[in-house]
Structure 1
Amino acid sequence: MSLFSTIQIAKNSLVAAQMGLQVTSNNVANANTPGYIRQNLVLTPAPTQRYGGLLLGLGVSVQAVVQQTDRFLEERVRNAASDLANSQAQEDTYVQLESLIGELSDTDLSTGLSEFFNSIHDILNQPDSASVRNLAVLQGKTLTDDIRRLDTRVREVRDNVNDQIGAAADEINRLLKEVSTLNVQISIAEGGGAVASDAVGLRDKRSQVLTQLSSIIDIQAVEQTSGDVTVFSGGDYLVFQGTFRPVTTVTKSDRDLNSYEIRLAETDSPINTSSGSLAGLISSRDNILGGFLDQLDTFTQNLMFEFNKLHSSGQGLTGLSEATSEFAVNNTAAALDQAGLTFNPVNGSFEVLVRNQQTGLTTTTQVRVDLNGLDGDTTLDELAAAINNIDGISAIVTPNRKLEIKGDSQLVTFSFANDTSGALAALGVNTFFTGSGASSIGINKTVQTDPSKFAASGGGIGEDTAIAVKLANLLNAPLASLGGSNLAVQYDRFVGEVTQGASVTKSVAEGFRVFHGTLEGQLLAVQGVNIDEEAIKMIAYQRAFQASARVVSTISELLETLVNL
């Protein structure tokens, strides 16, 4: 043991203090840098040296510069971020959907329904007024415009969400590639685990990338001894060392709409993510928006068919001179309930009323619609033939497989009554509403052109308001097709489900926000830079440097004295 060895010990101490000051300065400089993880200098005593019968220390040794973090807590924060992104995506969708519905405003669909059915009540007060019937037709057109507009806007939101799903694939690939690249750089920097220090800057960046990735899909990041991480999602590995498995987007059809699905390009298997913004967007597209479109379509179809069943059995102030069914069948020789109609008729009958304008006489003929499931069920060809046998009118099946009925002369008009089969409404004869759902609902051009043909009577042309009474009360009338419920309840139910779903999703999202914030605060307490602590460390390293310098100065004086002896 010599004075020169003591100088070496002091030199190591100076180096350790200098490196400590550098690490502390780096921490202070990055105190406000997003994603920065606090660094620590790891010091250990140097190996001992035997001097005679003594074991003397050789000073301090700098072992490593490492990040101060908690890997388990990091993983929990990433999982919480995935759950939060999932709930926030659904919350945002509900906000947009509620805004489109606009319930309790002056432009909501319930207001349009009320105004339409109220306008039919006015017909009861003035049954002979064509202008009152015209107002009912206009209110009906306003209602159909509102339904189509709502359907269109919800579809636009759904398409936007679908585009976001498609864009997520590119973002996932970018992040996966970045993780694999950083894996290689970290492994090289750390020597595959041979170097005790962390590749701190690279690890900071990789941690940020993993956090971004976890906000899109739920992932599990497992760190290997070599310093790289293996990334899994739903049991499939996405990143292994310096390689990654890219995802791709395929288009499928859902409810006659294009839908993107993200799959692993290598195996063509879907990414089964239960959390992250991708899961939230998929749920928003398929369940929230898609489900609402389904319910809106179902409500609209029920409204159309139930209203049309009544209207097609009624008569207006004037009769019809001709009528062509709106809907075509797939096969004119097939039973009507098996012919591909949007609305299916049932076993029953209807009456055809033929009126001679010159004599004022009306003849009534019953037309049977046999759909009991036994042999001889009524086809469109047979229905046309049965109507064609009625004196005064002719009926044919057109080349495009529709039913066409005409009066044999200008003196003959016809109408319908007591349709228990729903065949007229299913075919689209003498109906008020046209279309097959929320996206296509409209008003029959015959009624729009001549509101006097609004079918308010049930006992003959212009005779009474029996049908108008039923139409006016239809919104709140119990319906067998709805299990005894009514249209108003059905509407309130599916709009209420949106409100309830929005409330629940908002509560869940708020819970995840609080939970994620708590975990993030805990992680920040571990990883974040505390200026007060760094200031104390800085003073400690400064004093250690000064003391070590003083040791060097003292030994220098001793050596000078020794040389001068």
Structure 2
Amino acid sequence: MGVNFSAFEIGRRALRAQQLGIAVTGQNIANVNTPGYARQQLLLAPAPPSGTGSIQIGMGVVVEGVRAMRDRFIEARLQRETAIAGRLNAERDTFSIIENAFGDPTNGGIQQALTNFFGAFRDLEANPTSVPLRTSVIARAVELTNAFHQTRARLLSVYQDVQSEMSSLVDEVNRVAAQVADLNRQIAANSGAGTDTSALEDQRNEAIKRLAELVGVSATENPNGMVTLTFSDGRALVLNDRAFELGMIGVPNGVPTMTLDGQAITIDSGRIGGLLNAVGAVDGHLTALDDLAAAFAARVNQLHSSGEDLDGNAGGVLFVAANAMPINAANIAVDQNLQNNPRRVVAAAAGAGSGDASVARAIANLISDSTQTVGTRTGSFTSIYASIVTDAGDMLRTAEDNLAAQQAIVAQVTAQRESVSGVSLDEEAINLLQYQRAYEAAARFLKVADEMTQTLIALGQ
């Protein structure tokens, strides 16, 4: 009687398959907290049968490979939604700085300084011959010009802060893009050699996700296993195993220009895109602030010049430009002649005598005069400034609301990815138990086959 050793081959394959299953399960458990890791699955299939005639006996199990559980559609959507969240995050952060630059209108800042200035003229109206009250007017006027200077300087600092952050982000983009290009090269080489590339693909996906968050690139997988990363205009940041250099041309006070391989490029997504969008809004706030300072100074100067000072001299301007240029929020200053001689502050109309207070009253009434025009805004100077601050606050609130909604979308897509690619310790525990039991059963099968074989050998002796 011949001895059939096929049972030993079946048992050997079963032991190997279950051993590999335990190893894959251990790999999943070990990487449960690894960012970007895609759960792996052992692929098993029945071995082709062997035999003669109508009797075909299965030869156990074969291992076809290990598959990383990924959904390309979900991965691509997660990259898109992450890019949008990155842009909104940057806008929210920058708009918050812009709003803070205006200060609390109820506690200091331009709003309080305007109120104090008009209040000083109201006090002078009540006692138009007082020199101390004129000194107070000068002090409140200087306080107001300083408030304009400080607010504008804080707005300008946004440019420097953003450019400093963007410079660091550009360096990171170039570093991560070079990493993706290198991973592309390794994945293509390993795929050609038949080596598993799951770990490399996990690293590449995490790097692409970071680039999407920073500059909003989209990924396209090529037949050779490499990916191409492109901006919204179709230009490539990474093309197969080559990374192109992102650059930034900074300007002292303005929006920097982004370049790709030395050529200007528009980035409208990711954190860098959000920073560019937000810093562009600073121009509008600076213009509004400069227009307010110019219109305010012009109207006060018009009224002040129409009267006469305490000594009967024709009134002059109260506000001037510190650098002899048109008045704006950066250069508005109190005329030095008035600072040197407060008696030159005007309260009376021309020829009305020192006891008159009509000019002081007219200037004080500007606090509620709703006929003033600054750019496209109409109202009193205090209400116009309040509207500028409100616009900044509205931009921040809108960015916060949009970001909250986008974060919910990102969380939803992330949950979808985790349902496919994430590691569940409960599932892995069940898999581990199944492989363990199958391994023990295969070992028992081999033992029985060995005992049967020994019996057959003994009978044949």
- TM-score normalised over the length of structure 1: 0.75
Distance 1:95 1:485 in 2: 26
1:279 equivalent to 2:280? Answer no
Question: Match for residue 47 of structure 1?
Answer: 48
Is 1:24–1:534's contact at 8 Å kept on the other side of the alignment? yes
1:187/1:226 Cα in 2 relative to 1: closer, same or farther (>3 Å)? Answer: same
With 532-541 and 550-559 compared, the bigger mean Cα shift is at 550-559
SS of 2:215's partner is coil
SS of 1:473's partner is helix
Is 1:165–1:260's contact at 8 Å kept on the other side of the alignment? no
Q: CA deviation at 1:35?
A: 2.4
Distance 1:501 1:532 in 2: 45
Distance 2:47 2:395 in 1: 64
Distance 2:311 2:337 in 1: 12
Q: CA deviation at 1:150?
A: 1.2
Question: Match for residue 120 of structure 1?
Answer: 121
Match of 2:341 among 450, 468, 492: 450
Letter in 2 for 1:541: Y
In angstroms, what is the RMSD of aligned CA positions?
2.1
Distance 2:352 2:318 in 1: 16
Q: CA deviation at 1:281?
A: 0.7
Q: How does 1:310-349 map to 2 (within 5 A)?
A: 310-318=303-311
Is 1:183–1:241's contact at 8 Å kept on the other side of the alignment? yes
Question: Match for residue 425 of structure 2?
Answer: 531
Match of 1:500 among 378, 386, 394: 394
Q: How does 1:194-273 map to 2 (within 5 A)?
A: 195=194, 198-234=196-232, 235-252=234-251, 257-266=253-262, 268-270=263-265, 272-273=266-267
Per-residue CA deviations over 1:96-133 (Å, capped at 9, x if unaligned) read 23333233432132111111101001111111111111
1:258/1:93 Cα in 2 relative to 1: closer, same or farther (>3 Å)? Answer: closer
Match of 1:475 among 367, 370, 374: 367
Distance 2:247 2:401 in 1: 34
Per-residue CA deviations over 1:473-493 (Å, capped at 9, x if unaligned) read 123324465586332332122
Distance 1:170 1:211 in 2: 16
SS of 2:223's partner is coil
Letter in 2 for 1:90: E
Is 1:166–1:261's contact at 8 Å kept on the other side of the alignment? no
1:304 equivalent to 2:297? Answer yes
**Aligned length, in residue pairs:** 449
Distance 2:344 2:80 in 1: 64
Question: Match for residue 324 of structure 2?
Answer: none
Distance 1:198 1:455 in 2: 86
Question: Match for residue 358 of structure 2?
Answer: 466
Is 1:166–1:260's contact at 8 Å kept on the other side of the alignment? no
Distance 1:227 1:144 in 2: 63
Match of 1:438 among 329, 334, 346: 329
Higher helix share: 2
1:82/1:457 Cα in 2 relative to 1: closer, same or farther (>3 Å)? Answer: same
Is 2:248–2:259's contact at 8 Å kept on the other side of the alignment? yes
Is 1:90–1:280's contact at 8 Å kept on the other side of the alignment? yes
Structure 1 stretches lacking a partner, 5+ long: 320-413, 417-429
Distance 1:106 1:548 in 2: 80
Per-residue CA deviations over 1:237-286 (Å, capped at 9, x if unaligned) read 22121111111222357xxx2542221125x031x332211111111211
Question: Match for residue 556 of structure 1?
Answer: 450
Aligned residues with identical type, % of pairs = 28
1:484/1:95 Cα in 2 relative to 1: closer, same or farther (>3 Å)? Answer: closer
Q: How does 1:121-200 map to 2 (within 5 A)?
A: 121-191=122-192, 195=194, 198-200=196-198
Is 2:50–2:56's contact at 8 Å kept on the other side of the alignment? yes
Q: How does 1:359-398 map to 2 (within 5 A)?
A: none
SS of 1:216's partner is helix
SS of 1:10's partner is helix
Is 1:148–1:440's contact at 8 Å kept on the other side of the alignment? yes
With 466-475 and 142-151 compared, the bigger mean Cα shift is at 466-475
SS of 1:281's partner is helix
1:47/1:240 Cα in 2 relative to 1: closer, same or farther (>3 Å)? Answer: farther
Is 1:459–1:466's contact at 8 Å kept on the other side of the alignment? no
Is 2:47–2:58's contact at 8 Å kept on the other side of the alignment? yes
Structure 2 stretches lacking a partner, 5+ long: 322-326
Question: Match for residue 110 of structure 2?
Answer: 109
SS of 1:190's partner is helix
Distance 1:303 1:149 in 2: 17
Per-residue CA deviations over 1:419-439 (Å, capped at 9, x if unaligned) read xxxxxxxxxxx3111222111
Distance 2:224 2:57 in 1: 36
Letter in 2 for 1:85: G
Letter in 2 for 1:45: P
Is 1:316–1:461's contact at 8 Å kept on the other side of the alignment? no
Question: Match for residue 4 of structure 1?
Answer: 5
SS of 2:268's partner is coil
Question: Match for residue 371 of structure 1?
Answer: none
1:28 equivalent to 2:22? Answer no
SS of 2:264's partner is coil
SS of 1:138's partner is helix
Distance 1:35 1:205 in 2: 7
Letter in 2 for 1:269: A
1:34/1:104 Cα in 2 relative to 1: closer, same or farther (>3 Å)? Answer: same
Distance 1:542 1:130 in 2: 98
Distance 1:265 1:312 in 2: 58
Q: 1 or 2 for the larger relative contact order (CA 8 Å, sep ≥6)?
A: 2
Letter in 1 for 2:314: S
1:26/1:481 Cα in 2 relative to 1: closer, same or farther (>3 Å)? Answer: closer
Letter in 1 for 2:261: A
Question: Match for residue 425 of structure 1?
Answer: none
- TM-score normalised over the length of structure 2: 0.92
Is 2:184–2:225's contact at 8 Å kept on the other side of the alignment? yes
